[in-house]
């Protein structure tokens, strides 16, 4: 935790900031939903046409998908749609996402989460190439690359877990508990450094988070553990963090080394991760914390949570 003195070297990402959520009577998204024609219209021209049809909140949804890669309809609702009536909020979310899908700005994946009764809220959404081209026009994305994420369910679950953490932190910030200064998912969270043998090594956390808590700034690297990696692999990842810590690179840039949070998908997995951490010496253990993913936002913010933590 550091004093929140302005740091010009710090990269504070606001790419996920949702701004004012949609309300049930917001008419900004009622423009026609006719899909854009592909005939004779290359992507840059189609992107410019689509850009004129999108509201700022539409583009904010695209920015969130560009940063997090996959999100559920429910996660997007929590960020961008508010109503005193949950049914109204859900209906409004479906309308917004259906319109963005018809305009080919987003892609709705075949997979659902939450079971067969989850409805549209349970669909998974990703950014389309056309949607990314719109963000390029705004100077908020690189040139379009891979944008559709029909991958293995385990990888999708991992991306959605990162998205859930981001949404939870935004909800805490909206409620005034914290200030969300930065949330960088992969690859924005990655670091590169010279290891003990002189080789250039990558450090690839799932997310980097910077929170304003009172007078201080709390920084963290986050690993969302879905229980798919062996404990020796977890130990190797921890040792990579220790190598980066010993390099001093992060400390020279920001004055402090971020706490490394391992967030587990279950209590049993939490106990196994904790057993790995206890294998290091006391000084090394001090940079790590373990908790349950369901409690992730509260744990990072230093607030009471129901799950186990160290």
- My answer on whether 44 and 95 are in the same domain is yes
* pLDDT at 152 (0 to 100): 80
Burial of 43 (0-12, 13-18, 19+ CB in 10 A): middle
Same domain? For 59 and 145 the reply is yes
Domain contains 280? yes
| Residue 282 lies inside a defined structural domain of this protein | yes
Residues 87 and 200 in one domain: no
Q: What is the pLDDT of residue 139?
A: 80
Domain containing 190: what range? 156-301
- Tell me: do 160 and 145 sit in the same domain: no
Say if residue 145 is in the same domain as residue 160. no
Tens digit of each residue's pLDDT (9 = 90 or more) over 184-211? 999 999 999 999 889 999 999 999 999 9
Residue 252 lies in a domain: yes
**What's the rounded Cα separation, in Å, for the pair 98 and 110?**
14
**Last residue of some domain: 118, 150, 182?**
150
Domain co-membership, 60 together with 167? no
Q: pTM of this prediction? A: 0.84
Confidence (pLDDT) at 37: 44
The CATH number covering residue 227 comes to 3.40.1350
| End position of a domain, from candidates 104, 122, 150 | 150
DSSP string, 75-96: HHHHHHEE-SSHHHHHHHHHHH
Residues 111 and 37 in one domain: yes
Q: Does the CA dihedral 250-253-259-262 come out positive or negative?
A: negative
Q: Is residue 97 part of a domain?
A: yes
Distance between CA atoms of residues 250 and 259, nearest Å: 12
- My answer on whether 54 and 121 are in the same domain is yes
| CATH number of the domain where residue 104 is located | 1.10.10
CA distance 46 to 107: 16
Residue 33 is predicted with a pLDDT of 40
Looking at the structure, do residues 118 and 236 belong to the same domain, yes or no? Answer: no
pLDDT digits (tens, 9 = 90+) for 104-141: 999 999 776 654 344 446 799 999 999 999 999 888 76
Instruction: Specify whether 112 is located in the same domain as 238.
Output: no
235 found inside a domain:
yes
CA 209 to mean position of chain CA atoms: 10
12 within domain boundaries: no
Residue 71 maps to a domain: yes
Which residues of the chain are under the pLDDT cut of 50?
Answer: 5-15, 19-41, 115-120, 307-310
127 and 262 within one domain? no
What is the pLDDT at residue 145? Answer: 55
**161 plus 76 within the same structural domain:** no
Q: Number of structural domains, the chain?
A: 2
**Token pair listed for 230:** 């062996």
Domain annotation covers residue 67: yes
């Amino acid at each position: 935790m550091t004093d929140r003195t302005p740091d010009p070297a710090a990269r504070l990402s606001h790419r996920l900031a949702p701004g004012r959520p949609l309300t049930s009577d917001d008419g900004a998204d009622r423009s026609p939903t006719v899909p854009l024609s592909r005939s004779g219209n290359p992507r840059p021209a189609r992107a410019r046409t689509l850009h004129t049809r999108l509201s700022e909140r539409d583009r904010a949804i695209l920015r969130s998908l560009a940063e997090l890669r996959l999100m559920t309809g429910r996660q997007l609702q929590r960020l961008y749609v508010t109503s005193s009536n949950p049914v109204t909020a859900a209906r409004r979310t479906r309308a917004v996402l259906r319109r963005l899908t018809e305009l080919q700005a987003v892609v709705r994946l075949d997979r659902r989460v939450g079971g067969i009764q989850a409805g549209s809220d349970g669909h998974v959404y990703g950014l389309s190439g056309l949607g990314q081209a719109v963000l390029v026009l705004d100077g908020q994305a690189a040139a379009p690359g891979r944008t559709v994420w029909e991958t293995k369910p385990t990888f999708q679950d991992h991306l959605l877990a990162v998205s859930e953490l981001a949404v939870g932190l935004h909800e805490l910030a909206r409620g005034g508990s914290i200030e969300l200064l930065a949330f960088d998912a992969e690859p924005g969270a990655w670091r590169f450094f010279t290891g003990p043998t002189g080789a250039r090594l990558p450090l690839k956390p799932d997310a980097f988070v910077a929170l304003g808590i009172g007078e201080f700034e709390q920084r963290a690297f986050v690993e969302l553990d879905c229980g798919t990696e062996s404990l020796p692999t977890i130990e190797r990842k921890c040792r990579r963090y220790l190598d980066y810590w010993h390099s001093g690179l992060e400390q020279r840039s920001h004055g402090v080394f971020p706490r490394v949070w391992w967030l587990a998908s279950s209590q049993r997995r939490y106990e196994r991760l904790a057993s790995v951490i206890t294998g290091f010496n006391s000084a090394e253990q001090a940079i790590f914390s373990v908790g349950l993913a369901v409690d992730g936002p509260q744990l990072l913010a230093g607030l009471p949570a129901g799950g186990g933590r160290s």
